[in-house]
């Protein structure tokens, strides 16, 4: 079998049509790409400049609010569960030996050496409740005990997390 009949039997017309379609589609895409190349390059250039500007700009440093002026001294009362209060006492003993400001890594290492149960969770709770805060002035990345707070131990879980009380 030769000629057009052989091409038809081997699905040659379908393959030929598919090949022509692929070539025509590729040429159409290439022509659209070349026609819009200047727009694409301008877009990439603007995006590059905006990213570089963001990387070069310095982040804003938030100023700490000044302490309120008033007749009475205000303190913050922080409610801790009995378990959290016990963990706080353990961490106070550890940090007395390390000194302030202290590294959380060193505190956790000492706590694990002494067999304190779940020290990561206990330390996280103290940071979350505001008993331990990051030292901003002295050393960034180190932590200190918050001063001027009143620690209250709750007997149940219905006590408020924080209460601002005026000291007479």
pLDDT band (50, 70, 90) for residue 166: very low
pLDDT in tens, 74-122: 567 777 788 888 888 888 888 888 877 888 888 888 888 888 888 888 8
pTM of the model: 0.46
Question: Nearest Cα to 131, choosing from 72, 91, 165?
Answer: 91
Does the domain at 73-167 match CATH 2.60.120? Answer given as no
Tell me the C-alpha to C-alpha distance, in Å, between residue 92 and each of 2, 40, 131, 162, 166.
96, 60, 11, 21, 26
């Amino acid at each position: 079998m030769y000629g057009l009949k052989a091409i038809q039997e081997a699905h040659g017309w379908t393959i030929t049509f598919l090949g022509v379609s692929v070539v025509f589609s590729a040429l159409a895409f290439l022509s659209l790409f070349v026609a819009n190349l200047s727009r694409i390059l301008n877009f990439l250039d603007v995006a590059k400049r905006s990213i570089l500007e963001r990387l070069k700009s310095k982040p804003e440093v938030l100023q700490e609010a000044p302490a309120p002026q008033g007749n009475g001294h205000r303190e913050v009362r922080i409610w801790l569960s009995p378990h959290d209060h016990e963990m706080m006492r353990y961490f106070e003993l550890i940090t007395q030996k390390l000194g302030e400001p202290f590294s959380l890594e060193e505190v956790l290492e000492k706590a694990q050496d002494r067999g304190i149960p779940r020290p990561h969770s206990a330390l996280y709770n103290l940071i979350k409740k505001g008993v331990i805060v990051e030292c901003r002035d002295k050393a960034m990345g180190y932590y200190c005990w918050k001063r001027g707070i009143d620690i209250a131990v709750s007997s149940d879980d219905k006590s408020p997390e924080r209460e601002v009380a005026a000291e007479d």
